[in-house]
Amino acid sequence: NAGVMQNPRHLVRRRGQEARLRCSPMKGHSHVYWYRQLPEEGLKFMVYLQKENIIDESGMPKERFSAEFPKEGPSILRIQQVVRGDSAAYFCASSPPSSNEKLFFGSGTQLSVL
């Protein structure tokens, strides 16, 4: 049983470029969550998605950030025109259809903006 898979593990971008982070949930899981973590900080909720639907995006910045979870394929967190402040670890988590409480996390993508 593969866990939550995220790629890439490390992503380096220059200011103004786009960053695309991918997340494949655990098999059988239909809920996906994205969290951001700064060094020495906790995880901050960004967005909650189900297949083809954004359920809660209250934690997403109003500009440059978007997320999707298509019918086929992984969930994508997209950051346009990255700035240095976007540098962080981005974690994806998934949960089964029956619960949105116990989340299973991936290993994260460390985004570094030069």
Interface ranges with other proteins (CB under 8 A): 4, 6, 33, 35, 40-45, 48, 55-56, 91, 93, 100-108
Residue type, 33: Y
- φ and ψ at 86, to 5 degrees? -80, -10
Nearest distance in Å: CB 38, other proteins: 10
Nearer to other proteins, 55 or 114 (CB): 55
Nearer to other proteins, 17 or 37 (CB): 37
Nearest distance in Å: CB 28, other proteins: 16
User: Cα–Cα distances in Å, from 58 out to 26, 73, 78?
Assistant: 24, 24, 16
Nearest distance in Å: CB 106, other proteins: 5
How many Cα atoms are found within 13 Å in the side-chain-facing hemisphere of 5? Answer: 7
Nearer to other proteins, 62 or 102 (CB): 102
Which SS3 state, helix, strand or coil, does residue 86 take?
helix
